[in-house]
């Protein structure tokens, strides 16, 4: 299988400048002076245009198809599709690097670990160059798990810790859970189950809180394996069976295969060999379908151990040799050495001492080789680090010498210009300060004037409220009273036309009374309830429904209230908001009985609650969705639907007083949903 083409990525080196800054004023002078000295600009690279598609190739569609194949565990098909498509991509395009990362993930699943690392490192450099913090965290986790599979635990631990720190910095809960899991697995394979269990349980707690099903399966299985290593087999079995149940629920073969394997290994230690064989064979079959080399190595190893404990030495040797061949092919030296050790024991018990000694010697040589490679690699890294530091020091010395030489050539000109410019700057600064003081005084006078106007406006608003409640209502009551008296005493003398006129008068009085009440409520919004209270909005909605009990019952309406939060609000005003919205939903009903649903969600990103009041009414046109919140706007005639056109304007003003906003989504004939948001604090 071919590696994907790796194209060199251009990097630019920016030479840092050196400046001596004595004060902000002097710095401005230096800027004017240095404008006369040319400074070399950084080279600009001509990025070639994106590669044209060939034969209708669609990069995004191909990527999505390959990603779907990866999720379905068809790793070879996914890899082949990516390798064919990457030839058409430009390395300057972000899509190219999405392909690179998915190629690496497929190689990792297929146990081509070095190829996976090559692709991951390309993607890591690109993500760091663009400061993609979440992507850097993810790829660090991928690299950690790959080094772990290769047996390089030091690098696996370094990248694992880096992954955890980065996820904590960006507060990515799913990423933190995955990092804890990978660190636990690292300690598990280093025969430290106590430390592994601690990390696994932290990962499980986070996965449960965010309801991440796939992570739950992995954590439960891993915790079971840790308890198995600690000898607590009953607890181990409990966790592994829970893991298997979740794995089967997600209906993915790979999780089920690993869960079956974990249950099988526990049954081996419980000496329930028939059950162990059944679970391990089921796991082996699934892994063969998936071509999961890493998993197949483990399956053959434990089948070998199972047959070895049952005294079936030939079958044990066959299984262990099958696993050994796969470990060699995937360049996993640690697992190869482990299998050789078990194989040596099997040969010994089978009465084949020569082959036993050969296997054990080969295992010892391989472990020495792993240790030697680690030492050589660390020495190489130290040498590279030393050479890099040495080179950096040489560059720093050369840079400093060039800077000193440059400063010597301009220092005498600077001294003369410096004295002149300092004097000019001090004179200019004095003028600016005087002008600023004058502007500040002018602004202060303007603010005082605006405060006086605001006090006057508040006073006029109070006067308006007084007039609306007394002076305007009194004539209305007089008109209404005399109209009622006329109807009572002279009704027998009225003809039909007179009675109709009399009805017009009484209806007009009632509408005017409602209009004055609504106007008064609107004007007093900013003067009611000066202190917010911690309020259960479910109770507030219930109070609004109680106020509308007659209207709800007479229209056979149903109001469904989902659990609402408890937050700091002006409670009486929130009753008015819910009451207006529920009343409108009933008023503008369709032929079907009104059904109203009230719900709320919380957004941690915006730190606010969003409420929704939805109905199955007549709905409205898109052109009216904003204007209905203006004063006196009505979409229907008074004869068809009663109202003053102030209710929604009142809702808007109340919500804005709470620091939120209100809007509506609607489809004619299907109903409307009114949304409003209120900050949590």
Q: Does the residue 79 lie in any domain? A: no
CA 91 to chain centre: 27
Please check whether residues 674 and 535 belong to one and the same domain.
yes
* Domains held by the chain: number: 2
Q: CA separation (Å) from 428 to 25, 170, 330, 441?
A: 10, 47, 75, 20
User: What is the reported pLDDT for 679?
Assistant: 93
User: What is the reported pLDDT for 457?
Assistant: 66
Please check whether residues 538 and 605 belong to one and the same domain.
yes
CA distance 639 to 475: 25
Please check whether residues 513 and 638 belong to one and the same domain.
no
CA distance 35 to 55: 54
State both tokens at 651: 């809702």
User: What is the reported pLDDT for 148?
Assistant: 86
Please check whether residues 492 and 615 belong to one and the same domain.
no
User: What is the reported pLDDT for 527?
Assistant: 63
Please check whether residues 510 and 581 belong to one and the same domain.
no
Domain with 489 in it: 473-523
Please check whether residues 500 and 629 belong to one and the same domain.
no
Find residue 664's DSSP bridge partners: 674
Please check whether residues 510 and 607 belong to one and the same domain.
no
Stated pTM of the model = 0.41
Q: Is 52 helix (H, G, I), strand (E, B) or coil?
A: coil
451: left (phi over 0), alpha (psi -120 to 50) or beta: alpha
CA distance 183 to 536: 43
Q: Does the residue 488 lie in any domain? A: yes
The β-bridge relationship of strands 608-614 and 566-569 is unpaired
Q: Does the residue 539 lie in any domain? A: yes
CB 355 within 8 A of CB 388: no
CB 333 within 8 A of CB 370: yes
Q: CA separation (Å) from 411 to 405, 406, 423, 661?
A: 10, 9, 19, 61
Q: Which long-range contacts (CB under 8 A, 24 or more apart) does 10-16 make?
A: 10/45, 11/129, 12/42, 12/43, 12/45, 14/42, 15/399
CA 652 to chain centre: 31
Q: CA separation (Å) from 680 to 494, 534, 568, 601, 664?
A: 61, 11, 8, 11, 21
CA distance 443 to 448: 9
CA distance 319 to 307: 9
Please check whether residues 625 and 540 belong to one and the same domain.
yes
Please check whether residues 548 and 502 belong to one and the same domain.
no
Show which of 457, 489, 523 is a domain's final residue.
Answer: 523
Q: Does the residue 489 lie in any domain? A: yes
**CB-neighbour burial class of residue 572 (10 A; exposed 0-12, middle 13-18, buried 19+):** middle
Please check whether residues 588 and 638 belong to one and the same domain.
yes
Q: Does the residue 133 lie in any domain? A: no
User: What is the reported pLDDT for 50?
Assistant: 38
Neighbours of 63 (CB within 10 A): 19
User: What is the reported pLDDT for 17?
Assistant: 37
CB 108 within 8 A of CB 81: no
Please check whether residues 535 and 665 belong to one and the same domain.
yes
What is the CATH number for 565?
Answer: 3.30.565.10
Q: Does the residue 512 lie in any domain? A: yes
Show which of 458, 492, 523 is a domain's final residue.
Answer: 523
> Which segments in the chain show pLDDT lower than 70?
1-55, 371-399, 402, 457-474, 514-515, 517-519, 521-530, 636-640, 643
Give the tens place of pLDDT for each residue, 285-314: 999 988 888 889 999 999 999 999 999 999
Q: Does the residue 280 lie in any domain? A: no
CA distance 603 to 447: 37
Helices (H) and strands (E) in the chain, counts: 23, 7
CA distance 421 to 417: 6
CA 657 to chain centre: 30
Of the chain, the end-to-end C-alpha distance in Å amounts to 58
Q: What sections of 212-329 are H helices per DSSP?
A: 213-230, 233-250, 253-269, 273-290, 293-309, 313-329
Please check whether residues 620 and 675 belong to one and the same domain.
yes
Give the tens place of pLDDT for each residue, 441-458: 888 888 888 878 777 766
Q: Does the residue 486 lie in any domain? A: yes
CA distance 641 to 382: 84
CA distance 514 to 280: 78
User: What is the reported pLDDT for 374?
Assistant: 54
């Amino acid at each position: 299988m071919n590696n994907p083409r790796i194209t060199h990525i251009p990097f630019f080196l920016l030479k840092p400048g050196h400046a001596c800054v004595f004060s902000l004023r002097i710095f401005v002078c230096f800027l004017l002076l240095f404008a006369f000295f040319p400074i070399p600009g950084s080279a600009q690279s001509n990025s070639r245009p994106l590669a044209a598609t060939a034969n209708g190739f669609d990069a995004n569609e191909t990527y999505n198809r390959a990603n779907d194949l990866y999720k379905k565990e068809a790793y070879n098909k996914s890899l082949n599709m990516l390798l064919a498509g990457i030839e058409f991509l430009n390395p300057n395009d972000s899509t190219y690097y999405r392909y690179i990362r998915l190629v690496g993930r497929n190689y990792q699943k297929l146990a081509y670990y070095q190829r996976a690392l090559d692709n991951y490192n390309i993607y890591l450099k690109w993500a760091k160059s663009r400061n993609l913090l979440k992507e850097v965290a993810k790829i660090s986790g991928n690299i950690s798990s790959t080094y772990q599979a290769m047996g390089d635990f030091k690098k696996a631990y370094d990248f694992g810790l880096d992954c955890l720190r980065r996820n904590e910095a960006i507060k990515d809960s799913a990423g933190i859970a995955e990092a804890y899991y990978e660190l636990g697995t690292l300690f598990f394979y280093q025969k430290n189950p106590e430390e592994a269990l601690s990390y696994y349980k932290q990962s499980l707690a986070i996965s449960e809180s965010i309801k991440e099903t796939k992570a739950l399966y992995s954590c439960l299985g891993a915790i079971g394996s840790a308890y198995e290593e600690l000898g607590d087999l009953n607890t181990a079995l409990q966790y592994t069976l829970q893991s298997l149940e979740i794995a089967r629920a997600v209906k993915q073969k790979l999780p089920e295969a690993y869960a079956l394997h974990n249950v099988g290994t526990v049954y081996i230690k419980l000496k329930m060999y028939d059950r162990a064989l059944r679970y391990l064979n089921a796991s082996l079959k699934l892994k063969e379908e998936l071509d999961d080399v890493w998993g197949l190595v483990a399956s053959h190893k434990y089948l070998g151990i199972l047959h070895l404990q049952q005294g079936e030495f030939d079958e044990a040797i066959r299984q262990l040799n099958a696993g050994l061949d796969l470990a060699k092919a995937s360049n996993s030296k640690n697992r190869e050495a482990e299998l050789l050790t078990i194989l040596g024991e099997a040969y010994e018990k089978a009465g084949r001492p020569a082959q036993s000694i050969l296997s054990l010697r080969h295992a010892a040589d391989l472990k020495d080789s792993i240790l030697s490679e680690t030492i050589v690699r660390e020495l190489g890294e130290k040498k590279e680090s030393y050479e890099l530091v040495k080179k950096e020091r040489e560059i720093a010395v050369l840079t400093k010498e060039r800077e000193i030489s440059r400063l010597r050539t301009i220092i005498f000109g600077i001294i003369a210009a410096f004295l002149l410019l300092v004097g000019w700057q001090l004179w200019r600064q004095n003028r600016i300060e005087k002008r600023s003081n004058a502007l500040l005084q002018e602004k202060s006078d303007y603010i005082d004037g605006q405060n006086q106007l605001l006090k006057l406006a508040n006073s006029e608003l109070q006067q308006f409220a007084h007039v609306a409640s007394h002076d305007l209502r009194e004539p209305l009551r007089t008109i209404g009273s005399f109209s009622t008296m006329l109807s009572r005493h002279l009704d027998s003398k009225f003809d039909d036309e007179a009675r109709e006129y009399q009805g017009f008068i009484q209806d007009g009085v009632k509408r005017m009374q409602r209009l004055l009440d609504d106007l008064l409520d609107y004007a007093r919004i900013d003067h009611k309830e000066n202190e917010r209270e911690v309020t259960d909005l479910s109770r507030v909605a219930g109070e609004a429904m109680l106020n509308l009990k007659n209207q709800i019952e007479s229209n056979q309406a149903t109001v469904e209230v989902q659990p609402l939060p408890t937050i700091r609000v002006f409670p009486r005003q929130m009753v008015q908001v819910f009451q207006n919205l529920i009343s409108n939903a009933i008023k503008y009903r369709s032929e079907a009985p009104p059904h109203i649903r009230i719900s709320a969600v919380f957004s941690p990103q915006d730190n606010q609650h969003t409420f929704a009041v939805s109905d199955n009414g007549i709905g409205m046109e898109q052109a009216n969705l904003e204007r209905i919140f203006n004063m006196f706007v009505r979409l229907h005639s008074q004869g068809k639907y009663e109202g003053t056109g102030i209710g929604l304007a009142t809702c808007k003003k109340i919500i804005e007083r709470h620091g939120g906003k209100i809007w509506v989504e609607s489809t004619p004939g299907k109903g409307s949903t009114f949304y409003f948001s209120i900050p949590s604090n």
